[in-house]
Structure 1
């Protein structure tokens, strides 16, 4: 147990910091907009650029892990994220674009690198649980950004807040150095950096009707998830009239709900044995939470707002683990990683589509509240589709769930 918890702690810390770095910019959006005069809704374009770079970086991370080692790559990711935040702190429009690209380049390879470490150190019978715990690093990092960054803004301004998070990334990168000798023993410095073909993973996904259906639905789930993370703080401060600090705490509440949901829904799916039906129910619930979020007014009690945000996070952020596990179950034998990679292309596409679509709706004169509802409609439709198609049949387990992220 001890041998698996040590690598888990290391990989979780890295995941938390890079996730915090990415979510820091949406939290800063109202303060940046107030100083620069730019629309706060433009943060949707920024996040789209982050995840576009992240998708490309994650696809090429395999050879980098094998040549340099997972810890060294994780250290590099933390440094690159710090550089990205430093670019944002300049408030120069061109460097905002550069900062988004750097943040994406730092965010993308972290999951493959951490999965490489955990696959070596985790007993097979505990792999699902350990990997689920590691995946909570994303909402935990977002919760820390929501809780701490507004306080840093009040303390020293938004530039100081961005640089403080950048400093935390650098400190974590340095602290990981003593671990490299123990965890990067399998690196091959002579391995050529050859990028494998990307057509194979897509073929596995598109060939199977159930995988194809899940991947298609994940596009809309991911779009709504990123709109929640990206625009909640701006919506609460500009439209509901609560302070930046309080709005950050509401985002932290949503992220905390997502962290609990990622583990809880996975346990329920395993116990119930109907993961597709559970995904359908989660999609309907996230749509209902989005509608409730759109109904916020200044008269709502803070506790009620926090509870709705937590429910929104538990569903719109918490669905990923159930989805990825089911993709692995449906994969051809020994091809769980390829099928997961192909399915994630659709998921990342939703990440890229969601925030710009939300920004477009706001630019067209639609309110933030209505935009949340518009993005919720296709997610609910997909939920009803999954629930109906699942019917009374269990999908066969054709793959090895334990190899979900061993890519």
Structure 2
């Protein structure tokens, strides 16, 4: 009888992961559509490359504002209610975004949408944390985080051609309605684990401010968060400018340039699951050494990108885009696991919110800075070499984090 009950519980865990994954995919499908659609939005509104970089930066500014409050809210009300709230916030905001005609109102609405986008991580992470035991959590978190890259790939594969044919406004409107529908369906389908319901009263021991101070004093958590800041910024630099790089520098057609973003996001999806499995099985749950490997791979691929000549073929770009995606778009599951495992379990939501708040600043600063480098130098080479440089910094931070953990 206990074995049957355990099997049912395991089946239910993977079923609930499916709903978390669905929301994560559609949140990314809508929110991350700004990267593949950036070229068309920029042409429509006559934006510079730095201004195009402000679009994802605005999204993640919204995320940075909400990450810690959303983490507390996830700890308080659970994932189910928060999933619907964030779907409504992002879906309605991006639907209204399609009626804008200038940069400033566009950025304001994207920031509001970013609040819904940012809330998705604490909500879904909390679900994985409570539905899965530690020995399966790396794989489960990788699958859930795969939704981000899969949704982003869908945006490039489906929304970019649709936007090229009908215009970016109708395409984004339809995606927003789809997200709203999924949010409502998930609200009635997702269940909170019993353990979560029992643990809801003692949300955080002591005051929120005191626990936040403890997080700031947690040096490994801070170093992981700073590493995530750099990796997240690099990820969004790739997502925002890969299509432009292939289209303008390599003279690859718009549709094929868009498919390179799809390839990189497929690589990210493989990475999010693969790095989790590697961490669980090869490194016995050690997350930081995997972040080190990821940073070294990303730095090398970015250096290769910097050296590519004009006229590089589409087929040569496919493995390069894939490996770049495996690294900078594939690290998130490892990051989320490290974040939740460096603190007491009852503080997982707040720790996730704290780390995402820090990490979000990489995306706020990164794409506009990369675009500014392009505008000033007129060269993608300097932009990709900049990414290589900051990956060296991540490698150093990873070494430092491992040293700190060994002293514990």
Q: Judge same fold: TM > 0.5, yes or no.
A: yes
SS in 1 for 2:377: coil
Corresponding position of 2:35: 26
Map 1:7-406 onto structure 2 (within 5 A): 7-62=16-71, 64-65=73-74, 70-93=79-102, 94-123=104-133, 125-179=135-189, 182-183=191-192, 197=208, 200-208=211-219, 210-270=220-280, 271-273=282-284, 275-331=287-343, 339-384=351-396, 386-387=398-399, 389=400, 395-396=405-406
Task: Answer whether contact 1:23 1:142 (CA < 8 A) is retained.
Answer: yes
Structure 2, unpaired ranges of 5+: 1-9
For residues 310-369 of structure 1, give each alpha carbon's deviation from its aligned partner in whole angstroms, at most 9, with x where no partner exists: 100111121233334344454468655555544444322222221121122223234233
For residues 254-273 of structure 1, give each alpha carbon's deviation from its aligned partner in whole angstroms, at most 9, with x where no partner exists: 11111111221222233135
Task: Answer whether contact 2:252 2:314 (CA < 8 A) is retained.
Answer: no
TM-score, structure 2 as length reference: 0.84
SS in 1 for 2:312: coil
Task: Answer whether contact 1:150 1:244 (CA < 8 A) is retained.
Answer: no
The alignment of Structure 1 onto Structure 2 pairs a total of residues equal to 392
For residues 65-115 of structure 1, give each alpha carbon's deviation from its aligned partner in whole angstroms, at most 9, with x where no partner exists: 466653332222222222222233224224302321222011111122223
Cα 1:347–1:178 change in 2 (3 A) is closer
TM-score, structure 1 as length reference: 0.84
Structure 1, unpaired ranges of 5+: 399-407
RMSD of aligned Cα (Å): 3.3
Shift of 1:227: 0.8
For residues 34-61 of structure 1, give each alpha carbon's deviation from its aligned partner in whole angstroms, at most 9, with x where no partner exists: 2222224412112122111112222212
Task: Answer whether contact 1:221 1:316 (CA < 8 A) is retained.
Answer: yes
